[in-house]
Amino acid sequence: MSKVQSPKSSVENLLLNVPANDKHRDVGLWTLDLGLSVTDLRKSFSSPAGERLEVLQGVSFAADGGEAVAIVGASGAGKSTLLHLIGGLEDADHGRIVLGSFEVDRASPATLAKFRRKHIGLVFQFHHLLSDLNAAENVALPLMIARTGRREAMTQAVQSLGSLALGSRVAHPVGHLSGGEQQRVAVCRALITQPSLVLADEPTGNLDASFAEEIGETLVAYARSRGAIVLLATHNERLAQLCDRILVLKEGRLHESGRV
Ligand SMILES: Nc1ncnc2c1ncn2[C@@H]1O[C@H](COP(=O)(O)OP(=O)(O)OP(=O)(O)O)[C@@H](O)[C@H]1O
Ligand SMILES: [Mg+2]
């Protein structure tokens, strides 16, 4: 009796379609002992009335390569703020952020920008795609910035989009895509350079349940297969449950789920 092979899941396809990139070999070695360490992170904002809003009041945690970690908490708890600090998009008031041997909190803006382009994949809550570009161009852009030729970058981008059921949308301007489609484009864009750290901020907010689960599985599978760290801020309970650990942000501090 012949064995019927099930078609590869789109998650597998996405991972298989992203070839190891020679230019990033140094990153591959570096990820072997990749770890993220966040210590006593504090961040406050001032309100228009001049009051201090203490959002992060001493956040500490560590994550290892290969781990997908969910960060949950009420709206306004500081999840996006935490991801922005870890990605070096905003400065902390106090505390340490070290990724591998790179000191995010001590790097100059120029070094940080270079490091981020090479090592960090960002999926924003409001995905920030470039509306003048089509879907494939948006996904290909980080590769082209990293000096991959346009033809090769576009080929990888089209494959990646196809893996998340967007094969028929590659040439669409992103402004013509639905919210959920745009979110899937943003996930493809974040993974296309094979980053060591993926910061995903509510990556499934506009997606229906099946696509949300698929995006979650994609990110978790990415972490495991690449030895990368995925930090995923979400309100989606099912998505959080797919991750290896759940951290709860509450009253300015992070707690391991179950110990709140
Ligand atoms: N630049 C800023 N200036 C002033 N306040 C800010 C600023 N950025 C964030 N905040 C405030 O900090 C708090 C945390 O915001 P943040 O966006 O991190 O929350 P969140 O947990 O991501 O919420 P959500 O689940 O709604 O996305 C909120 O009360 C927000 O209003
Ligand atoms: Mg947020």
The 10s digit of each residue's pLDDT in 48-60 is 888 999 999 999 9
80 pocket-lining for ligand 1 (C-beta < 6 Å): yes
Residue 260's pLDDT band, with cuts at 50, 70 and 90, is very low
How far are the Cα atoms of 166, 190, 258 from residue 181, in angstroms, in the given order? 7, 14, 34
126 pocket-lining for ligand 1 (C-beta < 6 Å): no
pLDDT at 23 over 80: no
Q: What is the pLDDT of residue 33?
A: 59
Q: Alpha-carbon distance 255 to 149, whole Å?
A: 44
Q: Does domain 32-256 have CATH number 3.40.50.300?
A: yes
Question: What six digits make up the tokens of 192?
Answer: 């296309």
Q: How far is the CA of 75 from the centre of ligand 1 (A)?
A: 8
Question: What six digits make up the tokens of 124?
Answer: 């924003």
Q: Which of 105-109, 202-206, 212-216 has the lowest mean pLDDT?
A: 202-206
How many C-beta atoms surround the C-beta of residue 58 within 10 A?
A: 14
76 pocket-lining for ligand 1 (C-beta < 6 Å): yes
77-104: average pLDDT: 94
Which residue's C-alpha comes closest to atom 3 of ligand 1? Answer: 45
pLDDT at 214 over 80: yes
Q: How far is the CA of 82 from the centre of ligand 2 (A)?
A: 9
- Mutate which of 43, 44, 53, 250 to test ligand 1's pocket (most atoms within 8 Å of Cβ)? 53
CA neighbor of 77 nearest in space, from 47, 53, 94, 93: 53
